[in-house]
Amino acid sequence: MVGSLATRHGKRVAIGPPLRRRLGLRLRVADVDTDVLGTFTGEVPRPGPADEVVVTKARLGMAETGCPVGVASEGSFGPHPALPWCTLQVEHVVLVDDRIGLVLVERATSTASNHGELVTDGVDRDALLRFAREVGLPGHAVTVRPAVPPAGAAYPVVKGIVRVPALLAAVAGAVGASADGRARVAADLRAHHNPRRMAVIAQAAARLAGRLATPCPACGTPGFGVVGTEPGLPCADCRTPTELPAGRILGCARCPHRSTRSAEAPADPRWCPRCNP
Ligand SMILES: [Zn+2]
Ligand SMILES: [Zn+2]
């Protein structure tokens, strides 16, 4: 079986192997302009939440290739809900199979991305080079643009910079063009320029493949797996419910069948609101 993979950013190396190994699905790259669904550098805002845009992206690839099966991925970066000073990367990978009416999204997360930016007037070259090293040049790339875009003129974002001379030239150009004389230098988050991001996409793809290898016990559709958790794991000492999950809810991507798998052990009393308030 062949499916389409909508990407211009070389994601087949991360998404292809687990789907081929576990499901025998081969991916054909669909050359669709996924930038119309949003860019990390902000020229195009993403038209909706990542878990919806990823489905739209897969469908673009299916339309381009005529495959009834399509795959795509979409990443997002934002503050971690529990640790607001920390950036949370969430990678979504979807498989759409119109032959059986299946849309299944899986995720993987990381707090170890190189997401970050530096605003500089270009004078402090040491700070600029330190930032480039933290991002991971030359294995990872950076983007450069004016901190304040010049009025009335579209100044292009320079992307995919992996060499220091090119970085210095791009910063000088953006400083000269910016209304405030400063350049904005950021990690290039496109997957083919960001091996750290690509590794998280691979994790999400492996999860998706594992889930698709599990059929629903009720209807046989591929993709039975964890869809939620049940709160209230009881304390080992006093049985008071804690905030830890008491079990995982397994569900089908197509039919309403659900089952729960209880946690194997009760909660450590240090998480108990009564034993350790
Ligand atoms: Zn089912
Ligand atoms: Zn307790």
- First-to-last alpha carbon distance for the chain, in angstroms, is 55
pLDDT value of residue 200: 97
Ligand at minimal distance from the CA of 255 is 1
Please, which residues bridge with residue 105 across strands?
A: 94
Between the CA of 268 and the centroid of ligand 2 the distance, in Å, is: 8
> What sign has the CA pseudo-torsion 264, 268, 271, 276?
positive
Containing 207, the helix (H) or strand (E) segment is helix 195-212
- pLDDT (tens place) for every residue of the chain, 277 residues total: 999 999 999 999 999 999 999 999 999 999 999 988 999 888 888 999 999 999 999 999 999 999 999 999 999 999 998 888 899 999 999 999 999 999 999 999 999 999 999 999 999 999 999 999 999 999 999 999 999 988 877 788 999 999 999 999 999 999 999 999 999 999 999 999 999 999 999 999 999 999 999 999 999 999 999 999 998 999 999 999 999 999 999 999 899 999 999 988 999 999 999 999 8
Structure confidence at residue 42 (pLDDT): 84
pLDDT at residue 203, as a whole number = 98
The rounded Å distance from CA 244 to ligand 2 centre is 13
Question: What pLDDT, on the 0 to 100 scale, is given for residue 58?
Answer: 97
Q: Report DSSP state, residue 193.
A: G
For 234-251, the DSSP string reads BBTTT--B-SSEEEEEEE
What confidence score (pLDDT) does residue 155 get? 82
Listed residue (174, 233, 206) closest to 18, CA to CA: 206
Contacts 24+ apart (CB under 8 A), 264-269: 265/236, 266/233, 266/234, 266/235, 266/236, 266/239, 267/233, 267/234, 267/235, 267/236, 267/242, 268/236, 269/235, 269/236, 269/237, 269/238
- According to the model, what pLDDT value does residue 186 have? 97
CA 267 to centroid of ligand 2, rounded, Å:
8
What is the predicted pLDDT for the residue at 84?
84
Give the pLDDT confidence score for residue 98 in this predicted structure. Answer: 97
The candidate with the shortest Cα–Cα distance to 89, out of 111, 114, 116, 117, is: 111
Q: What Å distances lie between residue 69 and 12, 36, 52, 136, 253, CA to CA?
A: 15, 21, 17, 36, 15
The alpha carbon of 48 and the centre of ligand 1 are apart by a number of angstroms equal to: 28
| Structure tokens given for 159 | 């992307």
Amino acid 277: pLDDT: 87
Tell me what pLDDT residue 157 has.
93
- 183-187, strands of its sheet edge to edge: 117-120, 183-187, 142-146, 158-161
CA of 176 to the centre of ligand 2 (A): 63
Q: What is the pLDDT of residue 57?
A: 96
CA torsion through residues 169, 174, 177, 178, sign: negative
List for the chain the helix, strand, coil content (%; round to 5).
30, 30, 40
Q: What is the pLDDT of residue 168?
A: 97
Question: In the prediction, which pLDDT does 94 show?
Answer: 98
Ligand minimally distant from the alpha carbon of residue 251: 1
Q: DSSP state, 111?
A: S
